[in-house]
Amino acid sequence: MSNFDGRAFARSLSTGPGVYLMRDERGKVLYVGKARNLRRRVGSYFDRRDKGARINLMVARIAGMEVSLTRTEAEALLLENEWIKAHRPRFNINLRDDKSYPWIRLDSGHPFPRIGFHRGPRKSPAQFFGPFAGAGAVRESLNQIYRLLGLRQCRDSVFSNRTRPCLQYQINRCSAPCVGYISEQDYARDVDAAIQLLKGRDEAVIELLGERMQAASAALEFEQAARLRDHIQSLQRVRASQFVADGAEDLDVVGLSMSGGQAALQLVSFRSGRNVGSQSFFPANLQEHDQPGDIMAAFLGQYFAERRPPSALILSCAPTQAKLWKEALERRREGKLSLSWRVRGQRAQWLKLAETNAADALRRRQSEHDQLGRGRQELAALLALQAVPERLECIDISHISGTETVGSCVVFGAEGALKAQYRQYNIEGVAPGDDYAAMEQVLRRRFRRLAEEGGELPDLLIIDGGKGQVNRAFAVLEDLGLDAVPIMGVAKGPARRSGHETFILDGREVKPGPHHPASHLVQQIRDEAHRFAIQAHRRRRQKRAQASPLERIDGIGPLRRQRLLQHFGGLQGLRKASAEELARVPGISLALAERIVEQLRNL
d(CA 548, CA 162): 11
Print the domain residue range for 495: 392-544
Same-domain pairing of 137 and 234: yes
Same-domain pairing of 236 and 258: no
Same-domain pairing of 515 and 404: yes
Same-domain pairing of 540 and 555: no
pLDDT of residue 202: 62
Residue 564's domain is classified under what CATH number? 1.10.150.20
Same-domain pairing of 125 and 237: yes
Decide if 87 is inside a domain.
Answer: no
CA nearest 562: which of 550, 546, 554, 553?
550
Q: Of 508, 525, 544, which residue constitutes the final position of a domain? A: 544
How many domains does one find in the chain? 5
Give the pTM.
Answer: 0.55
pLDDT of residue 602: 65
Q: Are 205 and 197 in contact (CB under 8 A)?
A: yes
pLDDT of residue 246: 43
Same-domain pairing of 116 and 189: yes
* pLDDT block averages, 10 residues each, the chain of length 603: 81 88 89 92 90 86 88 82 81 65 81 86 77 71 80 85 84 86 84 78 70 77 73 58 50 90 87 71 82 92 86 93 92 89 86 86 82 86 87 86 79 85 86 85 88 82 88 88 87 76 87 86 88 80 64 75 76 79 84 81 65
* Residue 317 burial class via C-beta count within 10 angstroms: exposed 0-12, middle 13-18, buried 19 and up: middle
pLDDT of residue 195: 81
Q: Are 178 and 163 in contact (CB under 8 A)?
A: no
pLDDT of residue 41: 93
Residue 314's domain is classified under what CATH number? 3.30.420.340
Decide if 214 is inside a domain.
Answer: yes
d(CA 469, CA 526): 15
Same-domain pairing of 134 and 159: yes
508-510 and 274-284 strand pairing: unpaired
Decide if 332 is inside a domain.
Answer: yes
pLDDT of residue 40: 93
**Coil, helix or strand for 509?**
strand
